[in-house]
Chains A and B, each alone.
Chain A
């Protein structure tokens, strides 16, 4: 058994959050540069600003986007690693709290969604998806998710008879309805199968894949490619003002499901596709 200490969790989470909000993963950054080359006019002007924005964020150590998100964490916990320092969730939240304070991040979380909506002032609690894995390592992936793109996401329980066409239509319809709101060019995370909550988590996980890396199943890879073409033909363009590129990629993750079900979730990610990972 390997012991994991509170400070390991706190420091790792703090660093991941502070780093994630000021710099994009290399694959996303590269993809934005390629998009800049393809666009023209106002769309190009917007992409130019996004590329400049990345440089300035690093130089000034100011977040890329004012919406430093709600912190979503995927934690792969090796079952041979043990935590004996009390409340584990509190350790994760302490990391978030420190990042918000020291990194000058925005407090965007309210304590209850309907009545008081009182700001918790430190962006806690974060949202954690735990997965038990073999071994004694703990892998933490932190993705700060802003509301602009999250609000444009959708989930639908399709009938199995609606099949491939139903799946495609729903994904396209969701992107179309979102228009310029989620800050295109977007990455479209799709979860298919599982059940109601499983497909939503798959859709979110799909956003963590390297931009443009295809699904390992050729049929799903083909579907990703076809959907990307159709989405870019919508002419929504950067910030919704028209242009060749509306989405940088479509990533699908799928899982087995019930004979009566065909759940589909579409989680939209803005161009500021921030996420960082570390292993303890």
Chain B
């Protein structure tokens, strides 16, 4: 069974993430994420790794940041963003250890991660958050602003800087080796 927390106990956290905050987070904790995060999914990850391999500057400083695996729907008039729930994280597994080694401290997605990613999360003191898949309408209400900062040609897969307010997530894999999918 997974570690069940009493309903209503939610930990507020802010980005960029510090080691101090990450150390306190345990698999099964309910958190409310505040501050800026960056979106990237399949195609954006491929591009980021190409830039890294070519020693080209990246569109944002990776240090302490959270990547949200999301490809939102277009913003309807009057809204910052459309539906914006997490996509399957395992598709990004092959890129993740490298990004963690360069300073990324958190990921938001859905589903399990590979053994390599679990190890890298521990090694680089990071954290993997689970957001509720399919709850894109609800999660969009916790995204205050969205600004496209790289790869506009990728459409929904471009990199966007999102400002989150009390974005609900669950700590799925912590830096101490705790893993909600295995407990």
Contacts and interface: CB of A to CB of B under 8 A. Distances in A.
Interface of A: 22, 40-46, 49-50, 52-54, 56-57, 60-68, 104-108, 117, 119, 121, 147-148, 151, 179-181, 183, 235, 237, 239-243, 270-272
A183 B131 CA distance: 11
Given A42-B4, A62-B136, 15 more contacts: A49-B132, A50-B135, A52-B135, A53-B137, A61-B76, A62-B73, A64-B136, A65-B133, A66-B70, A68-B73, A117-B43, A148-B88, A180-B181, A183-B133, A242-B2
Interface string B131-149: 0111111101100000000
B110 A42 contact: no
Contacts of A108: 71, 156
- Chain B: interface residue count, which band? 35 or more
A241 B134 contact: no
B182 to A, nearest CB: 10
A49 B135 CA distance: 7
A49 B161 CA distance: 24
Nearest to A102: B76
Contacts of A61: 76
Interface centre among B30, B76, B135 (most CB of A within 10 A): B135
Contacts of A44: 7
28 contacts: A22-B137, A41-B4, A41-B7, A42-B28, A42-B30, A46-B132, A49-B138, A52-B138, A53-B136, A53-B137, A56-B138, A60-B140, A62-B137, A63-B73, A65-B85, A65-B136, A68-B83, A104-B73, A106-B83, A107-B156, A117-B43, A148-B110, A179-B112, A181-B88, A183-B110, A239-B130, A239-B132, A243-B2
Contacts of B136: 53, 62-66
Nearest to A270: B134
Nearest to A22: B137
B33 interface: no
Given A41-B7, A45-B30, A53-B134, A66 B84 contact: yes
A60 B170 CA distance: 25
B72 interface: yes
Interface in B68-119: 70-76, 79, 82-85, 87-88, 90, 110-112
Taking chain B's interface residues, is the majority helix, strand, or loop, or is none over half, making it mixed?
loop
Nearest to B43: A117
B1 interface: yes
A46 B2 CA distance: 13
Interface of B: 1-2, 4-7, 28, 30, 43, 70-76, 79, 82-85, 87-88, 90, 110-112, 130, 132-138, 140-141, 154-156, 168, 170, 172, 180-181, 183
A56 B141 contact: yes
Given A179-B181, A180-B111, A181-B90, A106 B73 contact: yes
Nearest to A46: B132
Nearest to A57: B137
Contacts of A240: 110-112, 181
Nearest to B6: A41
Contacts of A183: 110, 133-134
A42 B124 CA distance: 27
A179 B111 contact: yes
Contact of B137 (A56, A105, A180): A56
